[in-house]
Amino acid sequence: MRRAQLSMPEPLRRAGAELAAPCAIIDLDEFDKNIAAIARRAAGTPVRVASKSLRTNAAIERVLEHPGFHGVLAFTLPEAIMLVGRGHRDVVLGYPVTDAPALRELRADALLRRSITLMVDSVDQLDYIETVAPGRGHLRVAIEVDASWRPAERLTHGAVHVGVRRSTVRTPEQAAVLARSIRARPRFKLVGLMAYEAQVAGLADGDLTVHGAATRMMRRRSIVEIAARRAAVVEAVRAEVGELEFVNGGGTGSIESTVAEASVTEVAVGSGLFAPVTFDRYVAFRHRASAYFGLDVVRKPADDIATLHGGGWVASGVPGDDRLPTIEWPEGLQFTALEAAGEVQSPVHGPAARGLQVGDRVWLRHAKAGELAERVSEFAVITSGRIDTFWPTYRGEGLAFL
């Protein structure tokens, strides 16, 4: 397994020691390096920042100061409305919406209608929106296309499915049918497409195992398949409605292959900015860990065991060890098998535990990116080894979107 770095740098630990636990910090120097590195990887293709992976307004706004980035990919409509209120004028909703009050607010406000693009993949969603939010003025919509890999699809009838199940639209023909349905409704305007190849962008390929080799093979074949199918979908939709404002794809783990497609006009990236543990295990790129959280030792039940207060900040997805936080410092600690990362306590053991005393700080990294921001009200932002400022998270601003 590759590591973004051998250990958490000592200046960060020293700066964060004055904070009350549980606490979270951002290494701004590394965060800025990640911004620049992602822009370089995109090689001139605009990068849309995925807010789900940051959930911190100041972080989103700092990313968008870089000329390689434009626009936000949001995860709920209330969040998108909040972002417009903060001055963002290009917000694409990455998921379908059934929030009736928010849809009515969107319909009633001309600025919101100009600034927000909804995501759809079925006529049912269009029907729902028209039912709960009737009114004048068209709503901007984009079609999401299923980008998963289905090897030997004609033979297996789609029984073998690698990737996430994000859309009912998969083929050029299905996309064209939905595009015609949108075109026939005067209260909607089709402006874009999105296809997120999660099995390439979000699946680490650096493990030196049989599974890792199989993952690398799957990624290669999936990249070829989605490039051809995405191009065909774009062509079919353009034949129905003309030019589109954007064709969005990819993520941190697939930037190079996604931007290589002529049909793609922008790539969405978010997780690589914090570079959580998941991204330690990719072959083709390396981003720097920039977000950590700290917990304190509150008891020593044995000489080689230290108990942390809290710690059950487990990532979403299929339960497994890869969803647990990773202990960054001190090195040589691991969770106990019977308790792992617990809601209010997390016993850890290993050689380093013998040197820990009550009140000592242990530093960890989350397995995923934005979910860390749901656990804290603010990030302490550290520059050149000193706390420079504090960035409130969505939660810290009293915002709970999902």
pLDDT tens per residue, range 230-271 = 999 999 999 999 999 999 999 998 999 999 999 999 999 999
Q: How far apart are CA 89 and CA 132, in angstroms?
A: 24
Predicted confidence at residue 291, as pLDDT, reads 97
pLDDT above 50 for 220: yes
Is residue 71's pLDDT more than 70? Answer: yes
**Hey, is 133 helix, strand or coil?**
coil
Q: Is pLDDT of 298 > 90?
A: yes
Q: What is the mean pLDDT of the chain?
A: 92
Let me know the angle formed at the C-alpha of 50 by 362 and 104, rounded to the nearest 5 degrees: 120
What is the band of 153 on the pLDDT scale with cuts at 50, 70, 90? low
Give whole-number Cα distances, 153 to 106, 157, 160, 182, in Å: 39, 5, 7, 28
Nearest Cα to Cα of residue 163 among 250, 95, 89, 292:
250
The pLDDT > 70 percentage for the chain reads 93
As a whole-number percent, the residues of the chain with pLDDT over 90 amount to 80
Which pLDDT score, from 0 to 100, does residue 5 have?
46
> What pLDDT is attached to residue 198?
78
pLDDT for residue 347 is more than 70: yes
Is the predicted pLDDT of residue 315 greater than 60, yes or no? yes
197 pLDDT band, cuts 50/70/90, is confident
Confidence (pLDDT) at 37: 97
User: 222: how many CB neighbours lie within 10 A of its CB?
Assistant: 24
Whether the Cβ atoms of residue 366 and residue 317 lie closer than 8 Å to each other: no
The answer on pLDDT for 166 being more than 90 is no
Q: Are 68 and 42 in contact (CB under 8 A)?
A: yes
